[in-house]
Amino acid sequence: MNMQSLHTAVPHTPSAEGRRMASSIPLRVMLLALCMGNIVQSSAQQAQQTETPGELHVLVGRTLVINTPAPIIRISLADPNIAEALVISPTQLQINGKAPGAVSLVLWDENNQSQTFDLFVDLDILSIGQNIRAAFPDEPIQVEATKDLVTLSGVVSSEEVADRVLAFASAATPKAVSLMQVQQPPVPGGEIMLHVRFAEVDRARLSEYGFNFFTFPGSPLKTFGTSSTQQFAPPQLEDAGDLGTTLGLTDLLNIFVFRPDVELGATIRAMQQQNLLQILAEPNLITQSGKEASFLAGGEFPIPIVQPGQAFGITITYKEFGVRLNFTPTLQPDGSIHLRVMPEVSALDFANALTISGFVIPALSTRRVQTEMELQDGQSFAIAGLVDDRLTQTARKIPLLGDIPILGKLFQSSATNTAKTELLVVVTPRIVRPAPVEPLPAGPQFPRPFLPPASAPTPEPAPAG
């Protein structure tokens, strides 16, 4: 017999404690919901307060008005020297730009909610550029601004214009930088002839004459010197007036003469007549503007070079010597001539020669100078100071008798010669202007042919009678 248990549902009557617990559950739920609402509201306010700041731009000396949706109760400006903030009404704010820069602007409304802006005060680059272009209408000038720095760029016609533009911009802003370039005028082409005179001056004889390279006041000859070097008169010393210094060729180291009233050629000719000066070379060279030209009056001497190795060999190289000139003229836009000149004079020096493997190799005595200058067409300049000081000893004797001990001195003679010479280089550049092309003149015209053409028929003789 299966047994089956039966359960009877008996109604349960809650006690007083159970009723209190049941009544407190809705209250807890309400408090929890209220707390969650406050947390959500606080998070929303925090998210609204940390909103990404916006950007505001205002020019220096200009005004910007900001309208807000809620009344403003407080503002904060990081640097009042850059901008000024004024509350016009509860929902309007006025910003005045004072100096170039960037500041932070924070606004609080009546709900204590804040909003942050990045305020940039910029230069009025448009007005500055318009004023510069109005003052210099023919100059392509670009004006750019980076914060408080104004940059000027472009190609202007001259340095004076660049300085004036920079001063104009500096009056509007204290920080102005010029990147402007000056347009270089095109260099005119052409040919230039250089007339050069290489002269060697005897310093010993020159010191006897007291030659001076200054002209004295009132001289009708307009030549150098305190001594008279006239053609038909003997040299005689004259007073140089107020000049207190006598500067001869012995002191002329790279002295450039730019006196248009001085007859330099006449002075050189006068020195030649007095055997004070000897012309070594007088070349005339023509070259294009900007191209180098060279001149050499001399020769080459062989130099043997022994080749190392088991097989004995000698090769010969040649070294140039003599009077050399290298120059590069450049014609300037104003008509002047920029000249780079390198004169050189070298000679064989057997007194300092070397003997190698039976070969006598002479040394070179060289005087060289290099300089640059600007001259006008036909203007001369002189370079001096390249001194050569030589001491020569010469011994002579009678053959056989001069080799006798003690008594041989009676048949010998020796002499010591001292020679001091100075190189003087006088250069005169001239602009070569080609002659205009003209048609060739017509040949002589005869009224009738002198001889008939070969192809013309021979006229028959007229019948007699």
Predicted confidence (pLDDT) per residue in 199-253, tens digit: 888 777 766 655 544 444 444 444 343 333 333 334 443 443 443 333 333 333 3
Q: Residue 59: name the closest of 148, 144, 143, 133 by CA.
A: 148
- Listed in order, the ranges of the chain carrying CATH 3.30.1340 are 125-182
| Residue length of the chain | 465
In which element (H, E) is residue 143 found? strand 141-146
- Phi/psi for 40 (5° steps) reads -65, -40
The answer to whether residues 121 and 99 touch, using CB atoms and an 8 Å cutoff, is: yes
* Strand 381-397 versus strand 412-432 pairing type: antiparallel
The C-alpha R_g of the chain, in whole angstroms, comes to 52
Q: Is the pLDDT of residue 92 over 80?
A: yes
Q: Which amino acid is at 10?
A: V
Q: Which CATH number fits domain 54-122: 3.30.379.10, 1.50.10.20, 3.60.21.10, 2.60.40.1080?
A: 2.60.40.1080
Provide the CATH topology of domain 125-182: Histidine-containing Protein; Chain: A; (3.30.1340)
pLDDT above 80 (res 43): no
Evaluate whether 284 touches 193 at the Cβ level (below 8 Å): yes
Which stretch of DSSP H or E encloses residue 434? Answer: none
pLDDT tops 60 at residue 359:
yes
Positive or negative CA dihedral for 39, 44, 47, 49?
A: negative
Ranges of CATH 2.60.40.1080 domains, the chain: 54-122
Q: Which residue has the higher pLDDT, 54 or 8?
A: 54
Q: Higher-confidence residue: 400 or 227? A: 400
pTM check: above 0.75: no
Percent of the chain past pLDDT 90, that is, above it, reads 0
- What pLDDT, on a 0 to 100 scale, did the predictor assign at position 242? 40
DSSP 8-state symbol, 173: -
- Of 83-92, 171-180, 302-311, 449-458, which range is least confident? 449-458
